[in-house]
Structure 1
Amino acid sequence: MSETHITDFDREAGFGDYFALLKPRVMSLVIFTALVGLIVAPVPVHPVVALCSILFIAIGAGASGALNMWWDADIDAVMKRTAKRPVPSGRVAADEALAIGVALSGLAVVMLALAANLLAAGLLAFTIFFYAVIYSMLLKRSTPQNIVIGGAAGAFPPMIGWAVATGGVSVESALMFALIFMWTPPHFWALALFMKSDYDVAKVPMLTVTHGRRVTRNHVFGYTLSLAPVALGIGFTSIGGPVYLATSAVLNALFLKGAWTVWRRDEPAAEADGYAAERKLFRLSLSYLFLHFGALLVDATLKSFGVELW
């Protein structure tokens, strides 16, 4: 009697597959940075309004992820890092992912407008459009600057959170946007340095593919140098404080040191140790953003309890 092998293409999608379609890891970062943007704003927000707003921002982020997976299913299928995603693995049909993405986009924008204000909803709508259309459809497959320009999509959430609270934008929300925007290229290029073969196979014009690893190393170090003053500058605004400033100083010193190490290395050295320095820099970049926004949250919490920070 022959054995029956059940593959991803043979079984029906479950809740976990649909949840994975929304890119929960990316969604978690969106939720956190949007929440911090809302909390550090100078205008208090009713807890119910805040909870609903963060929920709809999260749904909007999930919608972007679903639309991205629908569009990128062909290249996801040939990249080891993404081949097991719901659409390329066949667990969720492409047209189903599209329908879910469009439906959730409309729901998130309309409900955020009702729960908060039109500016916040407009920023969320533009973020979804930017990620799904400008980045995924137009930039990702056409230019090595895809990550640089496309980084704006991931940088909007704290600005949206700020808009929920204040109904406007400010220097502070613009700097939170700039922090994420400037962090994105060295974060993804550090990954691309040791995942170059994936982008080669998928024919995605990542900088490592179009210009090589040497140029990519130069860019990683250059963007890290530009990132540091932006990050530290936030500490001298109304949302900054000693906790943030100390955290940022340490993190940027470590990030600069890691980028310097990556910049100095040649390919034989990197290949010899399996791109250890590049992997270390990528791991550091993951905690870099979380700890910056976490420090802003700590300073805001201390201020709310009347603790004199300066």
Structure 2
Amino acid sequence: MTTATRSTGDDERSAGNDDRPAGRAGARGVLSAYLALTKPRVIELLLITTIPAMFLAERGIPSLLLVLVTLVGGAMAAGSANTLNCVADSDIDAVMDRTKSRPLVSYRVPRTHALVFGVVLSVASFAVLWAGANLLAAALALSATLFYVFIYTLVLKRRTSQNIVWGGAAGCMPVLVGWAAVSGTVEWPAVVMFAVVFLWTPPHFWSLAMKYRADYERAGVPMLPVVATPRQVSARILVYTWATVASTLLLIPVTSWIYVGCAVVIGAAFLVMAQRLHQGVRRGRGVNPMRLFHLSNSYLSVLFLALAVDAAIGLPVLG
């Protein structure tokens, strides 16, 4: 039976049946849009650095409840920062192919609603971390959000090619939050982990920006690949990669051979990939910077996983 030959009663029953799935689909769409504002993939990477910091601060396995609270509070803080970043950067996102499908650009979430959502997430994050961990952890998470929104997004991003270098400091804060949640302080191993993520951020992000250089140029954002030659960019990527790998070795005094061996092996792989990118650019060959971008994600994940395993097993430290 075709639609045209159905009875009125059939049409009414069909409409009634279609409304319910459409409503559920609509609700899922709204939830999906708000979730997209928080940039879940970015949050996932940030949380990967939080847990190992907690394990190292505990010199073992911390309270699972504390880990859960810290992850929830940290995810809310990161989600807040990312949402408010989407609000501030909606004009940029609208002209970049990589970001033009984001919820504010595609009108799936009203701008004012996104702003309120971001603020509520930040307040909730502070409350969760203060109640479930301590005031220092809550304050560090809040400071990361404020820095990311007001210093990086509103000031640095549109004004300097060093935007991601200094703005990346916000992405390093989860290690301090995790350490503070366990110990109530910030000690030198946490500062070293902060430095590792800080130095890792430029080669990670610049390799992505090399791929999407035209996007940033069209949006008027002075990312390094927009204002520098490919050779200059790849050279700086290589320098920061060396600095990243070198900084990981500063944790030798508080770790065992498990972490050190892993840091050396995966560090060598990271360096080889950065060197290949630079050599390819120097020789004028076609290069794929996204290979380094994806490897950098794996590098940081494996490095911090090794740190967590090392702390959990509790072998004698080398220092």
TM-score, with length taken from structure 2? 0.86
Show structure 1 runs of 5+ residues with no match: 1-10
Determine if contact 1:241/1:296 at 8 Å carries over to the other structure: no
Q: Which residue of 1 aligns with 2:187?
A: 170
Aligned to 1:94: 111
Q: 2:176 touches 2:190 (CA, 8 Å); kept in 1?
A: yes
Deviations 1:75-126 (CA, angstroms, capped at 9, x unpaired) = 1111111111111111111111111001111111122112111111111110
- Where does the alignment leave 5 or more consecutive residues of structure 2 unmatched? 1-25
Q: Which amino acid aligns with 1:135?
A: Y
Distance in 2 between residues matched to 1:45 and 1:250, nearest whole Å: 28
CA distance in 1, matches of 2:82, 2:256: 34
Matched residues, number: 291
What SS class does the counterpart of residue 156 from structure 1 fall into? helix
Structure 1 position 162, deviation (Å): 0.4
Distance 1:48 1:261 in 2: 44
Superimposed CA distance per residue, residues 218-273 of structure 1 (whole angstroms, 9 cap, x where no aligned partner): 21111112112101222x132x2222111111111111111112222337844xx4
Distance change >3 Å, CA 118–CA 309, structure 1 → 2: closer
CA distance in 1, matches of 2:148, 2:223: 17
Where in structure 2 are the equivalents of 1:35-114 lying within 5 Å? 35-42=51-58, 45-114=62-131
Deviation at 1:171, TM superposition (A): 1.0
Q: Does 1:247 align with 2:262?
A: yes
Partner of 1:280: 291
3-state DSSP of counterpart to 2:168: helix
In terms of Rg, which structure is larger? Answer: 2
Q: Does 1:27 align with 2:74?
A: no
1:308 is displaced (CA, Å) by 5.2
- Aligned pairs for 1:188-203 (under 5 A) are 188-203=205-220
SS in structure 2 opposite 1:91?
A: coil
Structure 1 equivalent of residue 173 of structure 2: 156
Give the distance between the partners of 2:222 and 2:290, measured in 1 at CA.
Answer: 21
Question: Distance between the aligned counterparts of 1:251 and 1:257, measured in 2?
Answer: 10
Q: Distance in 2 between matches of 1:105 and 1:136?
A: 16
Cα shift at 1:16: 1.0
The structure in which a higher percent of residues are helix is 2
For residues 49 and 228 of structure 1, the distance between their equivalents in structure 2, rounded to whole angstroms, comes to 30
Q: Tell me, yes or no, if the aligned pair for 2:259 and 2:310 is still in contact at 8 Å.
A: yes
Letter in 1 for 2:49: T
Checking the alignment, whether the CA contact within 8 Å between 1:87 and 1:94 is kept in structure 2 is yes
Q: Separation in 2 of the partners of 1:48 and 1:263? A: 45
Report the RMSD for the aligned CA atoms in angstroms. 1.8
Partner residue in 2 for 1:300: 311
Residues 234, 281 of structure 2: 8 Å contact kept: no
For 1:89 and 1:267, how far apart are their aligned partners in 2? 40
Query: Which runs of at least 4 in structure 1 moved beyond 3 Å after TM superposition?
Result: 43-46, 266-270, 307-310
Q: Bigger CA drift: 63-72 or 47-56?
A: 47-56
Corresponding residue for residue 19 of structure 2: none
